[in-house]
Amino acid sequence: MQQTWLHTLGNLTLTRYNSEYSDHAFHEKRDMPGGFKESPLKLNAGLGQVDDWNEDAIKARAGRLAELALDVWTSPKLSAEVLADYTSKVSAVGYTIADHPRLLTETLRDVFEVLRKQVLALDPCVTEEFLKQYVAYKAETNFVDVYSQSSRLRLTINMQFHEMDDPKGFCKDISGRRLNGDMEVGLSSLEELPYVMGLVRQSYEKQMGSGNDA
């Protein structure tokens, strides 16, 4: 349950007391000095009255925040002519995560969900596209592609092998395979993700012109 709801809307908030909260039980975070009962943030409204922080409480808070978000960030009102102009540019053949069933398995679902959030958070210009064989992440062009395998994700990174700073030796040179990237790296657990994201970030920064020269 914790892995399912950890990074979802209903379980996220803002606080200046993160180190004090640590991994204490919810009722301690609620009642401690500076805890949720004393929080002046509207985002934390109602947390001081919650007795148990469980799945039902997280869902309820997520629903309330989602309704608030719809009021704060209303959707644009576009004319039929504008909508038709954009609709005509959508490809008739589109793929979704449902076309990659391995990404929905218990083994890979959590790893992929956290990976995609962190890659998309690199910059608002980064886009995600589900293709037939892989999931592409693009800025100016693809900087990392994600292939799903039975027990891991296989990432191809769009940099030359000699350019990558990879002290742990995770990367493999695949420059002869005619893929979007010259390197691949495997990802099978959340523990490996921080290091792998460091590799992905190098590819993104090089593409955007902010990488450091060796």
Neighbour order of strands in the sheet with 127-130: 127-130, 135-138, 142-148, 153-157, 183-187, 172-173
Residue 87: per-residue pLDDT: 62
Residue 210: per-residue pLDDT: 62
**1-14 per-position pLDDT tens digit:** 787 888 899 999 98
Tokens found for residue 46: 């109602």
Residue 184: per-residue pLDDT: 94
Instruction: Provide the pLDDT confidence category of residue 212 given band limits of 50, 70 and 90.
Output: very low
**32-61 per-position pLDDT tens digit:** 998 999 999 989 999 999 999 999 999 999
3-class DSSP state for residue 130? strand
Kind of pairing, strands 127-130 and 135-138? antiparallel
**181-190 per-position pLDDT tens digit:** 889 999 999 9
pLDDT of residue 91 exceeding 50, the answer is no
Provide the 10 A C-beta neighbour count for residue 116: 16
CA distances from 201 to 114, 155, 170 (A): 15, 13, 15
Residue 122: per-residue pLDDT: 92
Instruction: Provide the pLDDT confidence category of residue 83 given band limits of 50, 70 and 90.
Output: confident
Residues 6+ apart with CB under 8 A from 41: 13, 14
**Residue 153 near residue 111 (C-beta atoms within 8 A):** yes
**Residue 119 near residue 144 (C-beta atoms within 8 A):** yes
Provide the 10 A C-beta neighbour count for residue 130: 16
Instruction: Provide the pLDDT confidence category of residue 90 given band limits of 50, 70 and 90.
Output: very low
**101-158 per-position pLDDT tens digit:** 999 999 899 999 999 999 999 998 899 999 999 999 999 899 999 999 999 999 999 9
> What average pLDDT does the segment 158-173 reach?
92
The reported pTM is 0.55
Q: What angle do CA 55, 72, 37 make, to 5 degrees?
A: 45
Residues 6+ apart with CB under 8 A from 148: 100, 102, 103, 108, 112, 154
